[in-house]
Amino acid sequence: MTEKGARILYIEDDHASRRLVERVLTSRGYEVLVATEGLEGINLAREQKPQLILMDINLPNMDGREITTRLRSLPNFSNVPIVALTANISAGSRELALAAGCTGFMTKPIDVATFPADVERFLQGKQDKLTADERNEHLEKHAQNLVESLEKKVRELRAVNKRLLELDSLKSDFIVLVSHELRTPLTLVSGYSHLLAEQVANKNGLVQAQSIAGIAEGLQSGVARMQDVINEIISVVRISSGTLDLSLGPVRLTKVVHDVQKTYGDICRKRNLTLDIGDFSELPLIQGDGRRIQSAVEHVVGNAVKYTPDGGRISLSGHYVLDKAIDIIVQDTGIGIPLEEQRHIFEQFYTLGAIQHHSTSKSAFQGGGLGLGLAIAKGIVEAHNGRIWVESERRDPQALPGSTFHILLPLSPSDEVPDL
Ligand code: ADP
């Protein structure tokens, strides 16, 4: 009389319900397979040919009634009992499930004492029935639901497709920009190497040491810029693929800001920018990847330098907040950032939308960039469980409202940062 040992497939997205049903049925000797959504369930059903299917109704992507209708259309599934198991007991939900092709209808939460016997009855051939009128009425409703759901899917696919096309075009623009960014230093390197060759040829090999030193400096600056571009691309790829590895250790922020000052000292002097560095010596050590934290701060300070006209001021200060985190603040007296752009500037390639900022003669100080700097800074800060954000009133290249960036880092990546 018993079908013990029967193979049952349970399609259910809720972990707790899955565990309970699986445990109850397995303890009675049934073999239980589980799937968390429709397509996985259909594939499993095709492969494993269960003798009964328990079907949750409210599932993501494809609901239980849609899955049932699809299963009924497959060879070998016209007679397999499919029992709806749902928390939805609103009027008509039973009839709708049966009209869609379910054999029976049971409600959640299950009664552990009676559930196995109820399942067994469906295995033995029990079938819940609808009257002809009920069936017609609910079949029509089910057909309407199917069409609506299809319409929704088409809309979703269209939106995703549009986004993919946008990304694809951003990537093409990005390739153009990268080529351009690499070509500039490459031209420099090529120019200096020709110069060297010419000098050697003209002077029978007797080139002045001073002249060689100048050429070497030019070559080095071209190569360094190419290295920067390549490193930025590698960092952003690591961040997007979640493979940015941190080598953690104690980080002294005085050292970090000292190195940042070294990087930008010369350019600030040349452009008459004041680089004002606060006192970081009293701040506690933090646990983190010093090299990467430096790179994040460098990207933010680099932007402050880039978007502040000659003669402006950039200040860098650190504050210990609520005994939990360090807030590194980078403030500039530059062109500012429009409110509506403030969230987007941390996205990859964002600069492409504002490509005109790269080359207008009025704003030559703004320099170029790949639009990756802030995305990299954000990736690094978030890998440390920190937060980065900007405050600025508006963009105004004449009035220069300035921008203030915050990099909030917890004392250790395992700590939470406080809400500021
Ligand atoms: P980019 O390579 O273009 O500098 P980033 O990711 O570093 O790329 O910055 C994205 C955009 O954010 C910049 O193109 C610029 O429009 C804006 N931005 C970043 N920092 C500042 C700043 N300090 N002042 C004004 N605008 C800024």
pLDDT tens per residue, range 283-323: 999 999 998 899 899 999 999 999 999 999 999 999 999 88
pLDDT over 80 at 4, yes or no: no
> Is the minimum distance from the CB of 351 to ligand 1 under 6 angstroms?
yes
Ligand 1: centre distance to CA 92 (Å): 56
Mutate to test the pocket of ligand 1, among 177, 264, 305, 345 (most ligand atoms within 8 A of CB): 345
162 vs 205, residue with greater confidence: 162
Q: Is the dihedral of CA 288, 294, 297, 299 positive or negative?
A: negative
pLDDT over 60 at 2, yes or no: no
Confidence of residue 353 (pLDDT cuts 50, 70, 90): very low
> Is the minimum distance from the CB of 307 to ligand 1 under 6 angstroms?
yes
Q: How confident is the model over 63-75, as a mean pLDDT?
A: 95
> Which pLDDT does position 367 carry in this prediction?
56
> Is the minimum distance from the CB of 345 to ligand 1 under 6 angstroms?
yes
> Is the minimum distance from the CB of 350 to ligand 1 under 6 angstroms?
yes
Ligand 1: centre distance to CA 370 (Å): 10
Q: How confident is the model over 189-214, as a mean pLDDT?
A: 80
Residue nearest to atom 23 of ligand 1 (CA): 304
> Which pLDDT does position 153 carry in this prediction?
93
Ligand 1: centre distance to CA 177 (Å): 15
> Is the minimum distance from the CB of 403 to ligand 1 under 6 angstroms?
yes
Q: How confident is the model over 104-110, as a mean pLDDT?
A: 95
Q: How confident is the model over 128-136, as a mean pLDDT?
A: 94
pLDDT over 90 at 103, yes or no: yes
> What are the tens digits of pLDDT across the range 7-55?
999 999 999 999 999 999 999 999 999 999 999 999 999 999 999 999 9
Task: Set out the domains of the chain in order of their start, with CATH numbers.
Answer: 3-130 (3.40.50.2300), 160-243 (1.10.287.130), 246-410 (3.30.565.10)
Residue nearest to atom 26 of ligand 1 (CA): 337
Token pair belonging to 168: 């694809």
* Separation of alpha carbons 10 and 21, rounded Å: 8
> Is the minimum distance from the CB of 370 to ligand 1 under 6 angstroms?
yes
Q: Which atom in ligand 1 lies closest to the alpha carbon of residue 300?
A: 20
Q: Is the dihedral of CA 302, 303, 307, 308 positive or negative?
A: negative
Confidence of residue 183 (pLDDT cuts 50, 70, 90): confident
Token pair belonging to 256: 């970090």
Ligand 1: centre distance to CA 256 (Å): 21
415 vs 386, residue with greater confidence: 386
Q: How confident is the model over 367-385, as a mean pLDDT?
A: 82
> What are the tens digits of pLDDT across the range 315-326?
999 999 988 899
Contacts of 30 (CB under 8 A, 6+ apart): 4, 5, 6, 7, 8, 116, 119
* Separation of alpha carbons 78 and 101, rounded Å: 9
> Is the minimum distance from the CB of 333 to ligand 1 under 6 angstroms?
no
> Which pLDDT does position 141 carry in this prediction?
95
Contacts of 351 (CB under 8 A, 6+ apart): 357, 358, 369, 370, 371
Q: Tell me whether residue 157 is exposed, middle or buried, using C-beta atoms within 10 angstroms of its C-beta: 0 to 12, 13 to 18, 19 or more.
A: exposed
> Which pLDDT does position 177 carry in this prediction?
74
Confidence of residue 125 (pLDDT cuts 50, 70, 90): very high
Q: What percent of the chain has pLDDT over 90?
A: 61
pLDDT over 70 at 3, yes or no: no
Q: Could you tell me if 97 and 81 are in contact, meaning their C-beta atoms sit under 8 angstroms apart? A: no
> Is the minimum distance from the CB of 369 to ligand 1 under 6 angstroms?
yes
Q: What percent of the chain has pLDDT over 70?
A: 93
> Is the minimum distance from the CB of 371 to ligand 1 under 6 angstroms?
yes
> Which pLDDT does position 357 carry in this prediction?
44
Helix H, strand E, coil C: the string for the chain is CCCCCCEEEEECCCHHHHHHHHHHHHHCCCEEEEECCHHHHHHHHHHHCCCEEEECCCCCCCCHHHHHHHHHCCCCCCCCCEEEEECCCCCCHHHHHHHCCCCEEEECCCCCCCHHHHHHHHHCCCCCCCCHHHHHHHHHHHHHHHHHHHHHHHHHHHHHHHHHHHHHHHHHHHHHHHHHHHHHHHHHHHHHHHHHHHHHHHCCCCCCHHHHHHHHHHHHHHHHHHHHHHHHHHHHHHHHCCCCCCCCEEECHHHHHHHHHHHHHHHHHHCCCEEEECCCCCCCCEEECHHHHHHHHHHHHHHHHHCCCCCCEEEEEEEEECCCEEEEEEEECCCCCCHHHCCHHHCCCHHHHHHHHHCCHHHHHHCCCCCCHHHHHHHHHHHCCCEEEEECCCCCCCCCCCEEEEEEEECCCCCCCCCC
Confidence of residue 218 (pLDDT cuts 50, 70, 90): confident
Confidence of residue 62 (pLDDT cuts 50, 70, 90): very high
pLDDT over 60 at 142, yes or no: yes
pLDDT over 60 at 187, yes or no: yes
pLDDT over 70 at 351, yes or no: no
Ligand 1: centre distance to CA 336 (Å): 10
Q: Could you tell me if 83 and 55 are in contact, meaning their C-beta atoms sit under 8 angstroms apart? A: yes
Q: What is the mean pLDDT of the chain?
A: 88
